[in-house]
Amino acid sequence: MSASNRRWALGLAAVVGVVLTGLLGAVWWRGGPEPPDEVPGAAFEIGAALPAGLEAVEGNPGWDSLPEAERERALTPMSEAAREWLTRHRGEVVRVARAFDVSPVALGGIVAAEETLLLGRMDALGESLFVAVFGSMRERDLERWVADQERGYQSDAGAGLPPERDRVIRPYLWTLGPAQVSFRLAIRIEPQVAATLNRPRRSVKQVVESLTTVPGSLEYAAALLAQSRLAYARIAGLDIGENPGVLATVYHLGSPSVRARRLAGGAGGRTGTPQVNYYGAWVNLHAFEVAALLGVPPPAAP
């Protein structure tokens, strides 16, 4: 690619979010603004043993304190599109969940929640444009762009600014694929996903290509679920892995280590239990249906 073409591609990458914002609105905004939370490092390797003596999280904690509008949203019946998706991809969901040692009901539940509560035609259009723009760039240009974006993200965090405050106009922060995985988190967690699956690491372009596929989306989502479970176990002494709604809430809102530290409560001990939002409550309320469609045993907690 010539220098002029490279500048054109990078310039297009910079403005595509702005253009799409005008066309589509805030369709990639999943949850509220949260503090930055790094992908856990060596102490949170996927597949690491959980500490002993963890406290299980049962039921649908926080349901009674949800606003009425959120409770009504959580009671939305599962869409036919979600049922069809789970039935068609049940083998892939179960296989990936087993590889990352996460609940298949949680993994399938987040996709069903996205299909029922959040996804629409605008998401598909945004993903097509994302792949068209970034899939056409050379690997070295993509790597430079990602590095620049990450420096900006870290700079905002260091300055005390919410790094994801402008995620709608920053494709680096968009969520993509059936499980709506953050592009940034997929890039950052790719080394651990590759190690878990015993495969070579994907290039940035390969991550772009895989994020909108079913296997790729499920792999990155399962990795994030596994690390969220371990973060809560190591930091707060809680096992949220068997409660698909709580795990889905953390997945939806992000920042698992930050949230676990809030619950840990410092020297005074834990300050409470995780609370579901409408998204996680929906997953728990539909856990038995998700399990039946996947052909797996239902979870005990909900």
Judge whether 241 and 211 are in contact, CB under 8 Å: no
Residue 61 lies in a domain: yes
> H or E segment at 239?
strand 238-239
Mean of per-residue pLDDT scores for the chain:
84
Phi-psi group of 270: left, alpha or beta (phi > 0 → left; psi -120 to 50 → alpha; rest → beta): beta
The alpha helices in 101-171, defined as continuous H runs, are 104-113, 121-134, 139-158
Does residue 227 surpass a pLDDT of 80?
A: yes
Residue 259 lies in a domain: yes
Residue 179 lies in a domain: yes
Average pLDDT over residues 74-94: 97
Average pLDDT over residues 252-276: 80
> What is residue 48's predicted lDDT score, i.e. its pLDDT?
79
Q: How many domains does the chain have?
A: 1
Q: For 143-176, how does the pLDDT look when each residue is reduced to its tens digit (9 = 90+)? A: 999 999 999 988 888 887 776 666 777 889 889 9
Going by the DSSP 8-state scheme, the letter that residue 49 receives in this structure is P
Residue 146 CB coordination number (10 Å): 18
Q: Using DSSP bridges, classify how beta strands 238-239 and 181-182 pair: parallel, antiparallel or unpaired.
A: unpaired
3-state helix, strand, coil in the chain (%, to 5): 65, 5, 35
pLDDT band at 250 (very low <50, low <70, confident <90, very high): very high
> What is residue 299's predicted lDDT score, i.e. its pLDDT?
85
> What is residue 157's predicted lDDT score, i.e. its pLDDT?
81
> Rounded to whole angstroms, what are the CA distances from 195 to 22, 154, 225?
40, 25, 16
Place of tokens 């579901």: 276
> What is residue 158's predicted lDDT score, i.e. its pLDDT?
81
Say whether 7 sits in a helix, a strand or coil: helix
Q: What's this model's pTM, rounded to 2 decimal places? A: 0.87
Nearest alpha carbon to residue 12 among 136, 146, 183: 136
Q: For 173-215, how does the pLDDT look when each residue is reduced to its tens digit (9 = 90+)? A: 889 999 999 999 999 999 999 999 999 999 999 999 999 999 9
What range defines the domain where residue 54 resides? Answer: 3-294
Comparing 129 with 22, which gets the higher pLDDT? 129
Residue 91 lies in a domain: yes
Judge whether 237 and 55 are in contact, CB under 8 Å: yes
Residue 301 lies in a domain: no
Residue 126 lies in a domain: yes
pLDDT band at 280 (very low <50, low <70, confident <90, very high): very high
Does residue 14 surpass a pLDDT of 70?
A: no
Does residue 8 surpass a pLDDT of 80?
A: no
Q: For 95-126, how does the pLDDT look when each residue is reduced to its tens digit (9 = 90+)? A: 999 999 999 999 999 999 999 998 766 677 78
Does residue 39 surpass a pLDDT of 60?
A: no
> What is residue 286's predicted lDDT score, i.e. its pLDDT?
97
Comparing 300 with 263, which gets the higher pLDDT? 263
Does residue 218 surpass a pLDDT of 90?
A: yes
Residue 300 lies in a domain: no
Residue 162's Cβ-count burial label (10 Å; 0-12, 13-18, 19+) is middle
User: What's the CA gap between 86 and 71, in Å, rounded?
Assistant: 24
Residue 258 CB coordination number (10 Å): 16
Residue 302 lies in a domain: no
